[in-house]
Amino acid sequence: MPTYLPLDDPNDPRIAAYRDVREKDLVGREGRFIAEGETVLRVLAGQDRHRPLSVLIAAKRRDKLEPILSTLPDAVPVYLADQAVVDAVAGFPLHRGILALAERAPEPAADALLAGLQGRPALVMVLVGIANHDNMGGLFRNAAAFGADAVLLDPTCCDPLYRKAIRVSVGGVLRVPFARLEEGEDLVGLLDRRRLTSVALSPAGETPLHRLEPIPRAALLLGAEGPGLPEGLMARCRTVSIPMAAGFDSLNVAVTGGLALHHLRTAG
Amino acid sequence: MPTYLPLDDPNDPRIAAYRDVREKDLVGREGRFIAEGETVLRVLAGQDRHRPLSVLIAAKRRDKLEPILSTLPDAVPVYLADQAVVDAVAGFPLHRGILALAERAPEPAADALLAGLQGRPALVMVLVGIANHDNMGGLFRNAAAFGADAVLLDPTCCDPLYRKAIRVSVGGVLRVPFARLEEGEDLVGLLDRRRLTSVALSPAGETPLHRLEPIPRAALLLGAEGPGLPEGLMARCRTVSIPMAAGFDSLNVAVTGGLALHHLRTAG
């Protein structure tokens, strides 16, 4: 059981980390992140990589959240405040009235993350240049839904533990382990060495997705909408396309990822 | 060729419809809508249901947009203003500097829309209770990308021609014809009469999507995330599920729609 503590001052130093949550995202959080809402709180409480530090909820939510809160470690304080206090802390009306602060797990090196997937079927999502937090969140939501084993990020991707990405992912970013490639690290070389088949999604891909055969150990490469994946990268991969209507060949990257993950999970 | 007109006063009555675009969406537009950005402008210019009334762009964009603007009817005025004037009109910094005003086409009755699809293969998307403009836009983007012939909306769905839905759809809402069901209209009865097979997506669906056989004339029913489709409706449909990872059975409705549309387009 966590420790319930009443709170009535929005300036209480114990909840300073929650203050003005929107602005804080822009300047970094020193290894901590904010989770919002019941679903994300449930995912946070149900995983053990990232460490919950505290929870701030509107007191009226306590009963409904009890089944989740009761699974938190004893030492975690749960601050109970009036909705108006929660809103004052957050800096905007926080209708769902649920915030949690957690310490992010140390990120493994990309190679170490893949090493943990050796000798068995694996599905890895590799993101290149995904700078939009909505898309990042949507991609992780799909990775979690289709049971991807890991996500790799190139150095230009945004942070999956940004508040909005966590929310859009419905907690998926807390479930699927991820690692960031070093500047200049050879992505396809790494995937080859770890015996993963690199599959690049591209409108110019040679194989239509629905014809792609089962791939027991696949790394699915996705680039940002617009620029897509670099040519040099695609030249070293199987390339796969998604057939679309003439004159409207435009899919959201998270949808593209969902289609490919679903196919690889169900093919064969 | 359209008519180019310089504009330097944000309060010029000729562009009153563009003023404070964010707030105007909330109070209705009397049969008109606002399209934003180059891609949506291209879709608007390339279709003939909705009638473009005028365009407002940052003057510096004129050369790049010329190929699109030149396809607009002669009578359509294109107002050219400084970026600062465009921002002042819109009421916020409009980085892409492109707005268009159009008159929405009269909406056909649902039955009349389906009547136009008789005697040939057809793929119709049917939305029930989709109240979120992001999801509405995402669903239409996928409907356009996979060449759905029509979209039906139940009376509780939001307006696809809301500015944000248009933007998220990347113009898809302007490409795919849609109709709204009347209050109390019998949806499945209508689909049956028009010889469309009703396929309802649901986590409890009996057939996994990837096992669904080709359906030459399909109506794909999608409900809002959370409540899903009403039981009474599903009892009268083929029901289809999307297999997901244990403990994280959560997909965005636009992704669900994309998966199902893609499957129906490529199956068989």
Average pLDDT over residues B49-64: 95
In this predicted structure, the answer to whether residue B21 has a pLDDT above a threshold of 90 is: no
Provide, as residue numbers in chain A, all residues whose Cβ is less than 8 Å from the Cβ of B171: 248
The reply to whether domains B3-103 and B110-266 share a CATH topology is no
Give the A-side interface with B, CB within 8 Å: 39, 43, 46, 138, 141-142, 144-147, 170-172, 175, 208-210, 242-245, 247-252, 254-255, 258-259, 262-263, 265-267
CB contact under 8 A, B251 and A175: no
Q: Which fold has domain B110-266?
A: Alpha/beta knot (3.40.1280)
Average pLDDT over residues B130-150: 97
- Residue-wise pLDDT tens digits, A37-46: 999 999 999 9
CB-nearest partner of B245 from A144, A210, A254: A144
Percentage, residues of chain A above pLDDT 70 = 97
In this predicted structure, the answer to whether residue A23 has a pLDDT above a threshold of 70 is: no
- Residue-wise pLDDT tens digits, A125-145: 999 999 999 999 999 999 999
For residue B28, what pLDDT is reported?
58
Minimal Cα distance from A268: which residue of B? Answer: B210
CB contact under 8 A, A244 and B147: yes
For residue B29, what pLDDT is reported?
67
CB contact under 8 A, B248 and A138: no
Which residues face A158 on adjacent strands? none
Q: Which of A15-19, A144-148, B14-18, B32-36 has the highest mean pLDDT?
A: A144-148
For residue A27, what pLDDT is reported?
52
Average pLDDT over residues B245-258: 93
Please give the Cα distance from A239 to A232 (Å, whole number).
Answer: 12
For residue B57, what pLDDT is reported?
96
For residue A25, name the pLDDT band (cuts at 50, 70, 90): low
In this predicted structure, the answer to whether residue B149 has a pLDDT above a threshold of 80 is: yes
Determine the distance in angstroms separating the CA of B116 from the nearest CA of chain A, rounded to an integer: 19
Average pLDDT over residues B10-23: 87
Provide, as residue numbers in chain A, all residues whose Cβ is less than 8 Å from the Cβ of B247: 46
Average pLDDT over residues B52-59: 96
For residue A95, what pLDDT is reported?
82
What are the residue boundaries of the structural domains of chain B, listed by start?
3-103, 110-266
CB-nearest partner of A262 from B138, B145, B242: B242
**Cα A36–Cα A144–Cα A135 angle in degrees, nearest 5:** 65
* Per-chain mean pLDDT for chain A: 94
Lowest average pLDDT, out of A20-29, A181-190, A230-239, goes to A20-29
CB-nearest partner of A266 from B243, B247, B265: B243
For residue A247, what pLDDT is reported?
87
- Residue-wise pLDDT tens digits, A72-94: 998 899 999 999 999 999 888 88
Please give the Cα distance from B157 to B137 (Å, whole number).
Answer: 12
Query: How far from the centroid of its chain's Cα atoms is residue B227's Cα?
Result: 22
Please give the Cα distance from A79 to B113 (Å, whole number).
Answer: 55
CB contact under 8 A, B248 and A142: no
For residue A93, what pLDDT is reported?
87
Going across the sheet that includes B197-201, the strands are B178-180, B150-153, B122-128, B217-223, B197-201, B238-241, B207-208
Q: Are A65 and A57 in contact (CB under 8 A)?
A: yes
Minimal Cα distance from B211: which residue of A? Answer: A266
Minimal Cα distance from B209: which residue of A? Answer: A266
For residue B95, name the pLDDT band (cuts at 50, 70, 90): confident
Provide, as residue numbers in chain B, all residues whose Cβ is less than 8 Å from the Cβ of A248: 43, 144-145, 147, 171-172, 175
For residue A29, what pLDDT is reported?
67
CB contact under 8 A, B144 and A210: no
CB-nearest partner of A254 from B171, B242, B255: B255
Please give the Cα distance from A80 to A143 (Å, whole number).
Answer: 33
- Residue-wise pLDDT tens digits, B225-241: 989 999 999 999 999 99
CATH number assigned to the domain with residue range B3-103, chosen from the 4 options 1.10.3720.10, 3.30.1330.30, 3.40.50.880, 3.40.1350.10:
3.30.1330.30
For residue B97, what pLDDT is reported?
86
Average pLDDT over residues B110-138: 97
